[in-house]
Copies of this chain bind each other. A is one copy, B any other.
């Protein structure tokens, strides 16, 4: 590993089978491991400091939910077991109502779980593995300030020394996040499709400390949700007994960031709508005002590839909102899909990049849509008794016809089916439910002979 800038001469001397990865975050560091396994020499450039050293960035989403797609990608470089040891399975949702009453919803079948992992911890582990690999060189504090696509040249500014180097690349893999510098260069090419769109909601991280005995103050193996229609809070467990809470909250309006301006207002609001969690958040008001408010962006773009030179992965090509818990999983799946295409096309990069963007773009669009749909569902439909009844009926169908009816959530979370196919299945299921629900007024109606007959007809189609 080297933090020192290269001279131009050194840059030009880079051998032609060396690959360049922009971004040493979750996707960039995993990708480097995949590429190194295929025998390539890899240089990884990361804008931020090495997060394994002092002063790692705070205030970002600290916990992430790893599910099957992510696991498969980690297992592809042989680190599934190692990560599993620091991951906390969450087998069910625990819903907290305004009186502190709890209800429960399993995520899948028995033993199916999503896993709470620390973003920083996982990133550190991936960087450790990358650093230990003799084919990978990590370069921190390197901000990409310019990309010349046609000349295959990068400008990198060392943010510690404020010096700039120019570096050539043969092939550039951009995993540099939602505000990718590489994508910014692609965006200037003719006929580039691009959109960025924000929800009118921000998020705020809050922290539930471990109990006095270092134990979890709520059920450990669960994702906790405080759904409140127009806003909600969630909490994921950490290994040290703490939970990381995230409040998703409108920027403006009656209940909003704009409306809460003083410690007293924050405390009164939480006391009213999240009463059971207030005793667990001793630093609530301080954290509320000191932690940054994050925004929630969806980014779509196309193409992802520039000839056989540049390809975008992860948030750089498909940043999504977090309401399906799939952002990291989708980025990791990019790595395993790309790797399988390198295999399939025998390292013919032009074919690999072309196939990657063609195959993966519909899936990225689908998971982006699903994440927004889940947000809207949470916001608009969660209080609708008909909607809740429908969800119960769907569970019954799934239990009765397990081979014909996998819930959409399971298709996304516990399968490796392409996201676009899951979305199409979900739409089909939704239209079936629209027909069935016309005959169903109560949960018990499901067992009526005529309803059972209708369900059977739908399953046979």
Contact = CB atoms under 8 A, between A and B. Distances in A.
A99 to B, nearest CB: 34
A288 to B, nearest CB: 19
A345 interface: no
A195 B192 contact: no
Contact of A190 (B187, B195, B295): B295
A191 interface: yes
Interface string A229-260: 00000000000000000000001000000000
Contacts of A251: 191
A197 interface: yes
Q: Please tell me how many copies of the chain the complex holds.
A: 2
A196 interface: yes
A193 interface: yes
A198 interface: yes
A194 interface: yes
B198 A195 contact: no
A346 to B, nearest CB: 27
Contacts of A190: 295
Interface string A169-198: 000000000000000000100111111111
A196 B194 contact: yes
Nearest to A190: B295
A243 to B, nearest CB: 27
A192 B193 CA distance: 17
Nearest to A199: B191
A199 to B, nearest CB: 9
Contact of A193 (B187, B194, B197): B197
A194 B297 CA distance: 11
A196 B198 contact: no
A191 B190 CA distance: 25
Nearest to A187: B196
Contacts of A195: 194-197
Interface in A41-56: none
Contacts of A297: 191
A295 B191 contact: yes
Contacts of A194: 194-196
Contacts of A295: 190-191
Interface string A196-227: 11100000000000000000000000000000
A187 B197 CA distance: 11
A195 to B, nearest CB: 4
A196 B196 contact: no
A187 B196 CA distance: 9
A126 to B, nearest CB: 29
A198 B196 CA distance: 15
Contact of A191 (B191, B193, B198): B198
Interface in A270-319: 295, 297
Contact of A198 (B193, B197, B198): B193
Interface string A333-351: 0000000000000000000
A136 B266 CA distance: 52
A375 to B, nearest CB: 15
Nearest to A198: B191
Nearest to A195: B195
Contacts of A193: 196-198
A86 to B, nearest CB: 33
Interface string A152-171: 00000000000000000000
A295 B188 CA distance: 13
A461 to B, nearest CB: 30
Contacts of A196: 187, 192-195
Of A197, A251, A295, which is in contact with the most chain B CB atoms at under 10 Å from its CB?
Answer: A197
A297 B194 CA distance: 11
Interface in A336-376: none
A318 to B, nearest CB: 15
A194 B193 CA distance: 11
A445 B261 CA distance: 67
A190 B178 CA distance: 13
Of A187, A191, A192, A193, which is in contact with the most chain B CB atoms at under 10 Å from its CB?
Answer: A191
17 contacts: A187-B196, A190-B295, A191-B198, A191-B251, A191-B295, A191-B297, A192-B196, A192-B198, A193-B196, A193-B197, A193-B198, A194-B194, A194-B195, A194-B196, A195-B195, A195-B196, A195-B197
